[in-house]
């Protein structure tokens, strides 16, 4: 058997805190782990039309309601959802405008779709924000170069956990007549997200990132008018949606997503508590001389830190910059990348108050051990 010894550690890896399975999902994973398991129940050749288990109800009723949009689908990940939209809107010599804090997969999806890419610059250290003003400026400049087929905003971004003013950005895009995709991989399943309230065109989420699913699985929500373009069908196989290559999450991935969904719907109601916990954590880190960058006060569990004191230690200790990883591992804390000391990100999502204090105490102990008085 392959072992994973970090399984029972306190996990502060932003990538993983929102993707931990619920008990229901863990059971469902064992039950539905066989390849193509859901296809036992397929009668129409369409994944989203399977009635039992209730995939039809999930995709056509529960998910659009949750995302507050007209039409929804599951994909094999957030990136596949973004690519499906980009590929269907792409034109020869067309442009996409996206924020500079965008995830690499947004960039790569746009490249694969053959789009020219213009980036909206972020503000400088320490906030790294994407402002509506800069978004408008980039749209204005890019418009002169060619047709802008799509804009993308990352909400929040995966580096700083910044939540840009997406309502204002959506309004600007509308004024320019450019559809907007909101990449909410770090939001959907953690905090309430409503496509209707944002008034954008597309919204994308990640099941394994933020919806307690094993994945890989993504969710895509859109306005009704886009469905005929993005969900257009094959000429030959009349019921198969082209951009989804027919069927997407065909097995345990969608079942774990559905099994966790009741819990996910409840947990987003406790988002304010998560933000409060993150702010508490950040304030305690700052007391130790570790600076939180990005939005401040912070509005998300993903936080980016700047630690000159840990960096100074790394220059002096024997095994150098891996000391922080080792010290945290010795305390059964997982999630800061090996070798990082000066700049790193972490997440407090789903941690109990005791666990938060345990992690804070670990940082205090480490600083003390290496003679950085706090
Ligand atoms: C994690 C992440 C993704 C990738 O999600 P997948 O579902 O694995 O494709 C995309 N965008 C952002 C902002 C992310 O943080």
User: Looking at residue 328, which CATH number applies to its domain?
Assistant: 3.90.1150.10
CB 248 within 8 A of CB 74: yes
Q: What is the pLDDT of residues 52-64, one digit of tens each?
A: 999 999 999 999 9
Residue 67 burial by CB count (10 A; 0-12/13-18/19+): exposed, middle or buried?
A: buried
- Closest residue by CA, ligand 1 atom 15: 158
pLDDT-flagged residues of the chain (< 50): none
pTM as predicted: 0.97
**DSSP β-bridge partners for residue 119:** 98
Whether residues 146 and 198 share a domain: the answer is: yes
- The residue out of 197, 232, 267 marking a domain boundary is 267
Q: Is residue 280 part of a domain?
A: yes
The helix (H) or strand (E) run that includes residue 119 is strand 116-120
User: Looking at residue 125, which CATH number applies to its domain?
Assistant: 3.40.640.10
Distance 27 CA to ligand 1 centre (A): 25
Distance 196 CA to ligand 1 centre (A): 22
Model pLDDT, residue 305: 98
Model pLDDT, residue 374: 52
Ligand 1 pocket test: pick from 158, 184, 214, 249 the residue with the most ligand atoms within 8 Å of its Cβ. Answer: 158
- The residue out of 240, 267, 294 marking a domain boundary is 267
| Domain around 326 | 271-369
Distance 77 CA to ligand 1 centre (A): 8
Whether residues 223 and 243 share a domain: the answer is: yes
CB 324 within 8 A of CB 336: yes
- Is ligand 1 within 6 A of the CB of residue 183? yes
- Is ligand 1 within 6 A of the CB of residue 336? no
- The residue out of 267, 285, 309 marking a domain boundary is 267
- Is ligand 1 within 6 A of the CB of residue 158? yes
């Amino acid at each position: 058997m392959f072992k994973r010894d970090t399984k029972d550690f306190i996990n502060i890896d932003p990538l993983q805190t929102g993707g931990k399975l619920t008990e229901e999902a863990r059971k469902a994973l064992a039950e539905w782990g066989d390849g193509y398991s859901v296809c036992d129940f397929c009668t129409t050749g369409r994944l989203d039309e399977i009635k039992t288990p209730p995939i039809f109800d999930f995709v056509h009723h529960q998910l659009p309601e949750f995302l507050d949009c007209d039409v929804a689908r599951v994909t094999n990940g957030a990136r596949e959802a973004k690519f499906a939209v980009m590929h269907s809107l792409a034109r020869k010599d067309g442009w996409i405008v996206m924020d500079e804090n965008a995830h690499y997969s947004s960039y790569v999806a746009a490249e694969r779709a053959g789009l020219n890419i213009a980036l909206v610059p972020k503000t400088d250290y320490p906030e790294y924000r994407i402002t509506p003003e800069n978004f408008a400026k980039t749209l204005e400049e890019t418009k002169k170069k060619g047709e802008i087929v799509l804009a993308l905003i990352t909400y929040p971004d995966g580096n700083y956990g910044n939540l840009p003013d997406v309502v204002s950005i959506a309004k600007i895009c509308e004024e320019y007549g450019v559809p907007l995709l909101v990449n909410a991989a770090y939001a959907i399943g953690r905090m309430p997200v409503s496509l209707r309230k944002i008034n954008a065109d597309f919204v994308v989420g990640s099941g394994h990132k933020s919806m307690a699913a094993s994945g890989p699985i993504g969710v895509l929500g859109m306005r009704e008018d886009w469905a005929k373009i993005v969900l257009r069908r094959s000429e030959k196989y009349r019921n198969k949606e082209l951009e989804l290559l027919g069927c997407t999450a065909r097995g345990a991935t969608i079942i774990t997503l559905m099994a966790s969904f009741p819990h996910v719907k409840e947990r987003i109601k406790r988002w304010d508590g998560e933000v409060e916990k993150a702010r508490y954590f950040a304030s305690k880190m700052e007391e130790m001389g570790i600076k939180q960058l990005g939005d401040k006060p912070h509005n998300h569990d993903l936080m980016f830190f700047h630690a000159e004191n840990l960096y100074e230690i790394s220059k002096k200790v024997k095994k150098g910059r891996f000391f922080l990883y080792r010290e945290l591992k010795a305390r059964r804390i997982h999630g800061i990348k090996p070798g990082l000391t000066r700049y790193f990100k972490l997440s407090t999502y789903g941690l109990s108050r005791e666990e938060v204090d345990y992690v804070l105490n670990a940082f205090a102990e480490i600083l003390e051990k290496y003679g950085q008085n706090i």
